[in-house]
Amino acid sequence: MREAGEALARETEAQLARVRAAAQEVSRRPRTVFVWGRGGRTMQVSGRGTAAEAMMDLIHADNAVRDFEGYRPLTPEALISAEPEVLVIDEALLDRLGGVPGLSRDPALASTPAVRNGRVVPVHVLSFIGFGPRTGEVALDALRRVHGLETDGPESRP
């Protein structure tokens, strides 16, 4: 039992080390907004002190919404002025909104650089913000996609 635990800890550490190494190689920290829900109309995004912000930090991205704490509905005008370059969004929510074309129908979202340039990164919310043994793996994947390192993913296409 103890050995299995230690092995897991070692592996998790190794994964995180790989994430940090990969993060060192990207020079820019894109302004990022993490969208976790949409209460009918307004986007619920992650503010200061959230797990999502910690994850962004890990993968060398800047949280573009730092004026409030926790997850709250962001007024559309503030979304425009936050000018996110990358939109990280719950994959189920993205499906419900009709994918990236669906996002473009919302004028506030459509005007963000992220949606204009198609830099929308769908993630599984629970693994993205739920820190655990899989975090290294998830972070590495998110890092590649947020920084557009992956060339064959649909989200890196403009």
Partner 1 sequence: VLGFALAVACVVSLTIGAVPIPPTRVLAILVESVGVETPVSFESHEVVTLTLVRAPRVLLGALVGAALGIAGATLQGLFRNPLADPGLIGVSSGAALAAITVTMVGAGISGALGIPGTVLLSLAAFGGGLGAVLLVYRIATFEGRTSIATMLLAGIAINAVAAAATGVFVFASDDQELRDFIFWTLGGLGGVTWSSILTGGPLLLLGLVAALFLARPLNALLLGQAEALHLGVDVDRVQRAVVWIAAITVGAAVALAGIVGFIGLITPHLVRMVAGPDHRIVLPGAALLGAALLVVADLASRTVVAPAELPVGVVTALLGGPFFLWLVVRDRRRGALAGAA
Helix (H) or strand (E) holding 73: strand 71-74
CA gap 138, 126 in Å, rounded = 10
Q: Which is nearer to partner 1, 105 or 157 (CB)?
A: 105
38 in contact with partner 1 (CB under 8 A): yes
First vs last Cα of the chain: how many Å apart?
A: 48
Q: Which is nearer to partner 1, 56 or 125 (CB)?
A: 125
91 in contact with partner 1 (CB under 8 A): no
Q: Which is nearer to partner 1, 73 or 118 (CB)?
A: 73
Shortest distance in whole angstroms from residue 83 CB to partner 1: 8
- With contacts defined by CB under 8 A, name the span among 23-31, 42-50, 127-135, 149-157 that binds partner 1: 42-50
> Which residue in 23, 36, 155, 156 binds partner 1 (CB under 8 A)?
36
Residues 6+ apart with CB under 8 A from 46: 33, 34, 36, 52, 53, 63, 65, 70, 71, 129
100 in contact with partner 1 (CB under 8 A): no
Kind of pairing between the strands at 31-39 and 86-90: parallel
Q: Are 32 and 64 in contact (CB under 8 A)?
A: yes
> Which residue in 25, 81, 130, 133 binds partner 1 (CB under 8 A)?
81
10 in contact with partner 1 (CB under 8 A): no
Three-state secondary structure string covering 86-111: EEEEEHHHHHHCCHHHHHHCCHHHHC
Residues lying near partner 1 in the complex (CB under 8 A): 36-42, 44, 47, 65, 67-68, 72-78, 80-83, 90, 92-93, 95-98, 102, 105-108, 111, 125
